Amino acid sequence: MRHSSRRLLTGTLLVLAAGAGLGVAPSAAQAAGVTATVDVNSQLKVRATPSLAASIKGTLHDGQKVTVLCAVNGQNVRGKLRTTASWDRLTNGYYVSDSYLTSARRIPSCGAAPVAQKVKVKVKPKTTTTPAYVAGRVRTADGPVNVRTTPSTAGVPVRKVVNGGAVQLACYVPGSNVKGTVRTTSLWDRLSDGRYLSHAYVVSAALKPCAPSSTTAPATPTMTQAQFIAAAVAGAQLGWRQYGVPPSVTIAQAVLESGWGRSGLASVDRNYFGIKCQNGAYGTLANGCHVYATTECDKSGKCFPMSDAFRTYATMAHSFRDHGNFLRVNKRYTPAFAYTKDANNFIWQVWKAGYATDPNYYTKVTGIMTAYNLYKYDTWK
């Protein structure tokens, strides 16, 4: 989050949540992606596969910037810019027709295999420093492998790694048993970003076990997705009545930002949105503050260890109501409240105001709202 009262948690305490998006990295050269701009008269549909007949996973607005990983062939589409059978794969694994996108750089083919260049490498003197991560490679005959928020097949999938994909491994933890291409095992590898990949699909040098922690998020979720939504409805609807935030938006943001309530901050302190304390003050809806290790990153991508205090809550409903209050009292989000009965436009305005730096945040939130029919909880209907 970019606004002053939120910060990204790191370490074993918080398992980062990416919600419904399943990012696919076809190759290391494509991992950074190509920035493209949507040029459409109304809205551009994001689809599950490169076809107009595929299910809709979200929408994009005219002028919205997206990150494209690569291009595939699909159904021919006559769009605003061109007529083409090329479809662009986004970082969440879904597709949009290239007939509506402009980009400064050529979008690579998803099937292209980059040729490694031979370079002369100077041999450095040996040191006794232990590498921070162990290089691994995914081997799968079962299709792309999910990276999850917890070491469990029930964990929220946040992206996929294709066969031959490189990964950076920190350590391993026990989790749910998986029968994979390489082996059958209950071990899961923690990646450099704190997420998890089953060791059943990984080839690597020996890994060390992760250091035990009493605050590590549980491998088995405490609630199913249906149970999470059912538990969230009352607080989200009360937040709508008190502050005007559409319930579908509140629930979808909670799913995305807490990983269905499995993040350390949500499971320990019932804080589903990462709202912080301000100089020890936690408002009228929270019941205290909890100091955690965090990471701050500058514009160059360099990150620094920090610590900060996050609000704690007695119930999920209190966290959801505080989320509504947070948006209402921050003037930067005032334009959103012209759309309190239009959930998609509401979250679009919130994202435009700087709520999240992720260029695909709007698509992820609306994708969750669509996939789980959260609009039915918007009480004005």
Query: Does residue 4 belong to any structural domain of this protein?
Result: no
Q: Cβ contacts of residue 352 below 8 Å, gap of 6+? A: 335
| Residue 16 to residue 37: CA distance in whole angstroms | 27
CA angle 247, 344, 253 (to 5 degrees): 50
Query: Does residue 343 belong to any structural domain of this protein?
Result: yes
Query: Does residue 53 belong to any structural domain of this protein?
Result: yes
CA angle 168, 205, 202 (to 5 degrees): 60
Domain boundary among 58, 85, 103: 103
Query: Does residue 204 belong to any structural domain of this protein?
Result: no
CA 29 from chain centre, in angstroms, equals: 21
What are the structure tokens assigned to 63, written together? Answer: 């002028």
Mean residue pLDDT across the chain: 80
Residues 99, 229, single domain; the answer is: no
For residues 207 and 235, the model is more confident at: 235
Domain of residue 259 covers 225-377
Domain boundary among 103, 119, 135: 103
Q: Which long-range contacts (CB under 8 A, 24 or more apart) does 200-206 make?
A: 201/138, 201/139, 201/140, 201/142, 201/145, 202/136, 202/137, 202/138, 202/139, 202/167, 202/169, 203/136, 203/137, 203/138, 203/139, 204/134, 204/135, 204/136, 204/137, 204/169, 205/134, 205/135, 206/134
| Residue 124 to residue 313: CA distance in whole angstroms | 52
pLDDT tier at 299, thresholds 50, 70, 90: low
Q: What is the pLDDT of residue 139?
A: 93
Residues 269-279 pLDDT 10s:
899 998 988 88
The DSSP bridge partners found for residue 178 are 185
State the average pLDDT over residues 174-178.
Answer: 78
CATH number at residue 262: 1.10.530.10
Query: Does residue 36 belong to any structural domain of this protein?
Result: yes
Query: Does residue 192 belong to any structural domain of this protein?
Result: no
For residues 163 and 53, the model is more confident at: 163
**CA 116 → CA 27, 109, 166, 372, distances in Å?**
12, 16, 14, 42
Pairing of strands 34-38, 65-78: antiparallel
Query: Does residue 70 belong to any structural domain of this protein?
Result: yes
| Residue with tokens 């450095």, as numbered in its chain | 124
Residues 156-171 pLDDT 10s:
677 889 999 999 898 8
- Residue 76 above 90 pLDDT? no
Query: Does residue 218 belong to any structural domain of this protein?
Result: no
| Residue 207 to residue 209: CA distance in whole angstroms | 7
Residue 358: half-sphere exposure toward Cβ, Cα within 13 Å: 19
**CA 328 → CA 222, 244, 254, 316, distances in Å?**
31, 8, 17, 19
| Residue 379 to residue 366: CA distance in whole angstroms | 18
- Residue 113 above 60 pLDDT? no
Q: What is the pLDDT of residue 154?
A: 64
CA angle 362, 283, 344 (to 5 degrees): 15
CATH number at residue 87: 2.30.30.40
Domain boundary among 69, 103, 137: 103
Q: Total domain count for the chain?
A: 2
Residues 323-357 pLDDT 10s:
999 999 999 999 999 999 999 999 999 999 999 88
Q: Where are the beta strands (DSSP E) in the chain?
A: 23-25, 34-38, 43-47, 56-61, 65-78, 83-90, 95-97, 101-103, 134-138, 145-148, 157-161, 166-179, 184-191, 196-198, 202-204, 288-297, 303-312
